[in-house]
Structure 1
Amino acid sequence: MKERKLNLASVNDRLDTPTDLDPKATAEIAQELTVLLSDLLALYVKTKNFHWHVSGPHFRDYHLMFDEQSAEIFSIVDDVGERARKIGGTTLRSVGQVGKLTRIKNNDADYVGARDMLAELRDDNKALTANMRALHEKTSDAKDVTTTSMLEEWIDQSEKRTWFLYEASRNAEDAGH
């Protein structure tokens, strides 16, 4: 069987989306959106992991909160990937790429206590917020008002998740759990 070589120039031409934004800026923004997308997918899986494995006296509350938060995170995944494409970039192609790009640390432990779950997700969401703020500055400087506006909504959601996780972790500590 004859080996086929992929002509990247023709692939990139086929995936190129016209935009009036600066090409250099959109390439950087699309790459950062791809990293953000990796973070979101990793955080989604971690939040679901904790949703499935939480136990203890506040099981129902934490189980439901983790489920709500994972659904909120997942609800923006497609928007992030599509935004990278709308501005002329490309985005994720595999789970392996998610693993290479994400800044969210895996937690493969057999058991994680509820208080530790809350703290870890709180810190992950807080870091996600900081990363989105940095990207917001770049999109604003590039006059990419759409991505900037979207990031403002996502930052607000991430801040709310951080707040809820913080308050729940304080309550878990106060109750001695």
Structure 2
Amino acid sequence: MAISKSDQEKKDAGAANPALRTPTDLKPEATGQIANALNAVLADVFALYMKTKNFHWHMSGPHFRDYHLLLDDQATELFAMTDPLAERIRKLGGKTLRSIGHVSRLQRIPDNDADFVEPSQMLGELCDNNRALAASLREAHEVCDDNRDIATASLIENWIDETEERTWFLFEAVRSPDKTGH
């Protein structure tokens, strides 16, 4: 029997198996809320990492080398977020992502499977996706603040800064001299 998406989402949410629970002074409801917020962010980070690598691999045009290297650097930075995010969820006694399917159920960053994407469209799309990730990180920070999870909030603050820097670099790379809007 197939598991429906809503049943699977319920299965994915909540605390870890008792054998995997980690002691914390945070209430179980708090750890569940934080784990859910962080798992959604983690899914977005994996989706954005894959999209960034996709665009890195399929870059073309006169700025190939610069854009190829920029996207490789950004992908490395995104991937570096994954383990600390997942381990933070586990430190709180939550369970984290288990598969690509789990990522796809939670991700809010859309995939791009197009055969060809213009370099400026790639950079613009990644800029928008990083802005969306920053907003998601701020939402997760609010959940942490509401539940007095200072340690997770502190990690998120650094990731927001890194995400804003990626957004800035992408924005500047695609901005034409006569466009100054965001």
Q: Give the TM-score normalised by the residue count of structure 1.
A: 0.90
* 2:156 equivalent to 1:151: yes
Specify whether residues 125 and 173 from structure 1 end up closer, same or farther in structure 2 by C-alpha distance, changes over 3 A only: farther
1:102-141 residue CA offsets vs partner (Å, 9 max, x unmatched):
0010100000000000100000000000010011111012
Quote the sequence identity (%).
55
Give TM-score, length-normalised by structure 2. Answer: 0.87
The structural deviation recorded for 1:97 is 0.6
**Quick one: distance in 2 between partners of 1:50 and 1:13?**
41
Tell me the residue number matched to 2:60.
Answer: 55
Which residue number in structure 1 is paired with residue 117 of structure 2?
112
d(CA) in 2 for partners of 1:81 and 1:136?
15
Of residues 71, 77, 95, the one that matches 2:76 is 71
Distance (whole Å) between structure 1 residues aligned to residue 36 and residue 178 of structure 2: 39
Task: Tell me if structure 1 keeps the 8 A contact 2:124–2:174.
Answer: yes
Matches within 5 A, 1:127-166: 127-166=132-171
List runs of 5+ in structure 1 lacking aligned partners: 1-7
Partner of 1:97: 102
| Range with bigger deviation, 136-145 or 45-54 | 136-145
Larger radius of gyration between Structure 1 and Structure 2: 1
Native 8 Å contact 1:81 1:91 kept in 2: yes
| Alpha-carbon displacement from aligned partner over 1:45-97 (angstroms, at most 9, x marks no partner) | 00000000010011011000000000000001000001001001000011111
How far apart are the structure 1 equivalents of 2:22 and 2:56?
38
Q: Distance in 1 between matches of 2:161 and 2:26?
A: 25
Runs of 4+ in 1 over 4 A off after TM superposition: 171-174
